[in-house]
Structure 1
């Protein structure tokens, strides 16, 4: 089997262009030499060395091929790596899938090299972004055709919904007809605050499905992405977390919900500034800002009053414990919207950030950015 894999790799290595001199790339640095020595003497490397190996190779890839190397180029790098050091072959059919797997069926490419490249590109774009860009961002509502509704009728429907919650069918119809007007209003002359938006459009939170309906107007192609992709993606995340030693080997707990909770460990919070002070959130702060786990029987009125002061941003509330989830809610302002599943709560919370045009919570920014780009396939917010 190994001989067959090696033969196939040799064929791919000879056929793929460009070629990569893996050993030469690594031996250009002190740490790279240590990695080569470990691979030759021990036929293995530890996790820290593997990360350094990926950093060195992706750095070389960026220097020689720019920010967007082709699929064949990335594949050639992965093939050359495992051909040069067969001990790095993995259990996938290709033998190099853990290092790079081509995207297909509208799913993004994966693997250590791809993930590092994606993160490197993200950092480059942030560095290139003007500091004033956040204050001057343009409205993000796509140019979708408006309903053929006169402006005076739109305003009439908006005013009616400020004082009426029923009949539900009429509220849903009015909300649907005013969705694009609402999106443009929220983003006009700078984003509005959450209280301002809810004063103008109170039905967004007290009628189930309204946030998702508005999100569909903004990104119709992304509405079902989380539910369609998470089962497959969660398996990959859990496998990666186990391999990195971030997750105990508990087979009964290898669920999609567990993958959501482990994201924060795999994507630690970034340092940010509050005024002139640098703040480095703890994993616990990050976790509570994303999924706040509270015991069953938590006083919801008291909880909402507390988080209105301490967590005035959309997040998920999970009643239960780290192993068992009993109830889930999406918290927006002082409103708790109950959902059937934890996945549903994450989906609704993500869509709330877009509908209300809110910046992601700093304490868990990398997690929300990952969900946006890797799961929903939406470019930078």
Structure 2
């Protein structure tokens, strides 16, 4: 019975004939639903592989003769032959003949095989099997491997290809979100900003970058029927060119700064598109940040953000610290804090020592409160841990690697990352030899502790990084009071809000005293001038 049915299907020449036998066998397939057949349905309908291949080819010829529309093509794009069949002859029909998701990647098993062939891909599969979750790094590895494999076979991809690949990745890794890998384009008519929005996602971004990197942009032909791809794949060629230039060029420095500034908008878009970006990923994408003087580029970016007009200097910092010192008390039984206070209140003192001492004193004046949830754990930071997250005093440069690694291990246990912090080197606090800011595994050497505070603060905002949780309240105080920056991401911290209220009162009192003093001075000057005039008139 089975051979006769398959023979009839193969020999039929129209849609009605193709589905007639299936209908007779109570499968209820008709002209409307035949195009929705998928691989599993076909296996059930036609168990034998060879006959299934012939059926698919016949279906391909049928739809080719009838000049399928794009919608019909998409409807049957999930049809495929068995795993053993992988040549183009057995691929299903498509208007553009470039649907990678059907022609090269039949289902998630192909994704699995592609990853399995790579050492990195195998490691990702093992990690996911154990943890049931993917990290940002592992997602990037998956996209790298798949796009490299796909681009070896096909240089022109369309949005349907990205969608198909994204679906298959999510089938292989069920906890993943489809939108991580592909977000469909939005037409001008449907857009709420009255302009079309191109497709996005990790697969699309990788494709665009690879096109530029392989110099394929001018080699890819454009046809009228492919115009929707060109409209939606909006490649910032200037940004990509600047990125490539900055990745291989470090001189002349003036030209580096100029091109870095030009690439600002392109980089901001990259940061926004990749919400899981951490500082290690950013540095990998922009290796120019590893240059010793790259903190100047961070300064440029902060200025471009236009968050504040404040330029931190000794006077601003000193005013800020003295108000905190006036409004907050120290524990009289803590010898360390009392010793620091004695040092920073000396009349003749080196500015670096003074600012470093004040930074170390702030956690005593504003100790961390409450517990921090770190995954399944709860952590109550100490004053010492709060200090180390802001400024770390080491004796010799050789201690830097050791201490940074120790801090990284501590944060790893707490499911946290190491955020930027300041390092000072010297045998004692009164003898500071060098000053650094630590950014992941990059160490910037700076001229002063005050400059280090400024650069460290700016790094958080330039790269959209969170403050260290143990010193978040102190950095937020610096942000709100010194730099006068408010953002939608600011967390409400009661002790910071209360302190700023008190500091503003002190500020108002100072202004009032100044006004009274100025009025008295002006009045005395007036009286003196009037008395002098009377004296002259009488004599």
Same fold by TM (over 0.5)?
yes
When residues 297 and 176 of structure 1 are mapped into structure 2, their CA distance, relative to the original with a 3 A threshold, is closer
Q: Distance in 2 between matches of 1:278 and 1:214?
A: 36
Aligned to 1:316, the other structure's residue is in SS state strand
Q: Distance in 1 between matches of 2:307 and 2:455?
A: 15
When residues 205 and 241 of structure 1 are mapped into structure 2, their CA distance, relative to the original with a 3 A threshold, is farther
Aligned to 1:331, the other structure's residue is in SS state strand
What is the aligned partner in structure 1 of residue 318 from structure 2?
Answer: 231
What is the aligned partner in structure 2 of residue 280 from structure 1?
Answer: 380
TM-score, length basis structure 1: 0.55
Question: Of 242, 261, 264, which residue of structure 1 is paired with 2:360?
Answer: 261
> Are 1:252 and 2:346 counterparts?
yes
Q: Which runs of 5+ in 2 are unaligned?
A: 1-234, 412-417, 490-539
TM-score, length basis structure 2: 0.40
When residues 299 and 189 of structure 1 are mapped into structure 2, their CA distance, relative to the original with a 3 A threshold, is closer
Mapped contact 1:308–1:333 kept (Cα < 8 A):
no
Spell out the pairing of 1:337-356 with structure 2 (5 A cutoff): 337-356=444-463
Aligned to 1:265, the other structure's residue is in SS state helix
> Are 1:170 and 2:255 counterparts?
yes
> Are 1:289 and 2:395 counterparts?
no
Q: Distance in 2 between matches of 1:240 and 1:322?
A: 25
Question: Of 365, 370, 375, which residue of structure 1 is paired with 2:477?
Answer: 370
Q: Which of 188-197 and 245-254 deviates more?
A: 245-254
Mapped contact 2:271–2:277 kept (Cα < 8 A):
yes
Deviations, residues 28-78 of structure 1 (Å, cap 9, x unaligned): xxxxxxxxxxxxxxxxxxxxxxxxxxxxxxxxxxxxxxxxxxxxxxxxxxx
Deviations, residues 305-338 of structure 1 (Å, cap 9, x unaligned): 5555446221111112344432211000101101
Question: Of 272, 281, 285, which residue of structure 2 is paired with 1:200?
Answer: 285
Mapped contact 2:312–2:454 kept (Cα < 8 A):
no
Question: Of 212, 224, 236, which residue of structure 1 is paired with 2:299?
Answer: 212
Mapped contact 1:317–1:330 kept (Cα < 8 A):
yes
Q: Give, in angstroms, the shift of residue 278 of structure 1.
A: 1.5
What is the aligned partner in structure 1 of residue 240 from structure 2?
Answer: 155
Mapped contact 1:313–1:361 kept (Cα < 8 A):
yes
Q: Give, in angstroms, the shift of residue 257 of structure 1.
A: 3.3
Q: Give, in angstroms, the shift of residue 256 of structure 1.
A: 3.6
Aligned to 2:299, the other structure's residue is in SS state helix
Mapped contact 2:295–2:455 kept (Cα < 8 A):
no
Q: Distance in 2 between matches of 1:180 and 1:228?
A: 34
Aligned to 2:367, the other structure's residue is in SS state coil
When residues 278 and 226 of structure 1 are mapped into structure 2, their CA distance, relative to the original with a 3 A threshold, is farther
Q: Distance in 2 between matches of 1:222 and 1:188?
A: 28
Q: Distance in 1 between matches of 2:338 and 2:324?
A: 10
Aligned residue-pair number? 232
What is the aligned partner in structure 2 of residue 317 from structure 1?
Answer: 423
Q: CA RMSD in A?
A: 2.6
When residues 343 and 367 of structure 1 are mapped into structure 2, their CA distance, relative to the original with a 3 A threshold, is same
